[in-house]
Amino acid sequence: MLMPLRKRFRFHFSGNRQTNCISKPEWYLTQVLMWMESSSSFMDDNIQPVFDRIGGGVNARVELCRGLLTLVQEKVSSDACRVLYDDVLLSHLVEEVLQFEKELRSSHAYPASLPGLIHLLLDDSVLQKWLSVEKKMAVEKMDSMLSSENAWSSQYKDVSDLDELKAPDCAETFMTLLQVITGYRPLPSPSAQLKFLELQKELVDDFRIRLTQVMKEESRCPLSLRYCAILNAVNYISAILTDWGDNVFFLQLQQAAVSQCDCGVKGVALTELGRLASLEGSLFDDLLALLERLREDMMGLTCFHSSSVVVFQVAERPLPSGPVQHVPVQLSLSMMLCVRDTLLNLHQVLSSTLFQRAWQGLAERLDSFIYQEVILSNHFSEGGAAQLQFDMNRNLFPLFGHYSKRPENYFNRACVLLCLSGGSALLLRDALRQTEDPDPPPGALLNDVGVYVLSPNDALILLGLRAAWPEQ
């Protein structure tokens, strides 16, 4: 049965025939798959019963595949030597061999215990050239993607439901590139797989360095679209690598690295083997640490700059200085507008997780500014305290209410103490001053009036900022 197929194969795919094209390995690979498919019914219906009567557990379809594979193996081995120094042709041959192997195992149920074609790629010269070509092409694509006009825009920017990560196009393209390189997954050699993993990690680190370089150029404007896009890219890559660390394939590769004590994997040291063996860490921990450091540095600068823009918008008019002031104190309208615009901008340019951290950081610094520069720096009349509380409750908190059900929880409740009635404030002050076995304790007293963050000493300082007391 194989004789006619062998003759046809050699007739079409050897010598000077037009079908024997070195740049078209898919022609003979597809032809062999078609022969396997077209012969499957005949083998099952006519040949398999004969084998079953003879006994021995022979599978007719598998035997036909084995016979045809000998032809393809010889052809692929010969072609690999011919294209070894042509990057494009070698890359194409590898791609077609991987696709053939996938079809062979999935569509034709060829046993994993029997060799197909992929083992031919483990030849030292072919494997090293394959690695070299993958690296060269990846670096070229990185250069291209980072110089693209759309490098820092998200392809899903107009579809909010799909754009939570707001990953720029260059980051998505890069991770797709890494995913394509993971085509080495079917290789039957863990040591060869680990070499490709080392290449992937090297590319991630290269991309991180490139992002850092662009970030430094944009660091003067940490709220700019490009700077935030870089931050989103770092966050996106970190999220993907974290997921990969829990992926079954990479966990198996991690165990292979440990069992072989293969420290040739970049970033895996002998001291880390125990941690990797217990699955406490992943093969990507070293890269994740570098990305985390970059993300935190960028996030810190973004939060600092956004809050600085806000706190510089001080009171609508200069706050009066001097001893006790009996005038209302207003938070600046320009500050409120700046808070609104800053939150809106951050929400538009940052991923959901980064934005949550950003607005909480802004709330924390704004709270500190109001407490230190507005409250502690002034004395408050009844009207001034009421005005400040009004500004907080009716103007400031609703700005953060779009992102939190209880925005007031992110601000201390100093205004509560300033707005207590004279009698209640006097009783609270006297109770907080009690030093011997206070009952109830000071913390409980503050909780009763809705103050949970301030210490008793801070509460006494705030009460001292009241401009008038009942006995005065």
Report the sign of the C-alpha dihedral through residues 221, 226, 230, 236, in that order.
Answer: positive
Q: Cβ distance 208 to 294 under 8 Å?
A: yes
The length of the chain is 472
Q: Which two structure tokens, joined as six digits, stand for 40?
A: 């499957």
Where do the H-state alpha helices sit in 183-224?
A: 190-218
What pLDDT, on the 0 to 100 scale, is given for residue 327? 42
Report the sign of the C-alpha dihedral through residues 325, 330, 334, 335, in that order.
Answer: positive
Distances (CA, A) of 208 to 51, 55, 350: 59, 60, 19
Concatenated DSSP letters of 207-270: HHHHHHHHHHHHTT-TTSHHHHHHHHHHHHHHHHHHHHHTSHHHHHHHHHHHHTT-TTSTT--G
Q: Cβ distance 335 to 313 under 8 Å?
A: yes
Q: Rg for the chain (alpha carbons), in Å?
A: 35
Q: Which H or E element spans position 373? A: none
Q: Which H or E element spans position 164? A: none
Distances (CA, A) of 272 to 191, 204, 248: 18, 20, 20
What pLDDT, on the 0 to 100 scale, is given for residue 163? 66
What pLDDT, on the 0 to 100 scale, is given for residue 427? 84
What pLDDT, on the 0 to 100 scale, is given for residue 93? 97
Residues 6+ apart with CB under 8 A from 204: 178, 237, 241, 287
DSSP label at residue 391: I
User: Which stretches of the chain score pLDDT less than 70?
Assistant: 158-163, 261-280, 313-331, 435-439, 469-472
pTM: 0.85
User: Average model confidence (pLDDT) for the chain?
Assistant: 87
Distance from C-alpha of 375 to C-alpha of 368, rounded to nearest angstrom? 10
Half-sphere exposure of 210 (CA within 13 A, CB side): 19
List pLDDT tens digits, range 193-229: 999 999 999 999 999 999 999 999 999 999 999 999 9
What pLDDT, on the 0 to 100 scale, is given for residue 261? 64
Report the sign of the C-alpha dihedral through residues 13, 18, 23, 29, in that order.
Answer: negative
DSSP label at residue 317: S
CA nearest 289: which of 208, 384, 171, 230?
208
Q: Which two structure tokens, joined as six digits, stand for 364?
A: 């924390």
What pLDDT, on the 0 to 100 scale, is given for residue 430? 81
Q: Cβ distance 310 to 362 under 8 Å?
A: yes
Q: Which H or E element spans position 328? A: none
Q: Is 378 left (phi over 0), alpha (psi -120 to 50) or beta?
A: beta
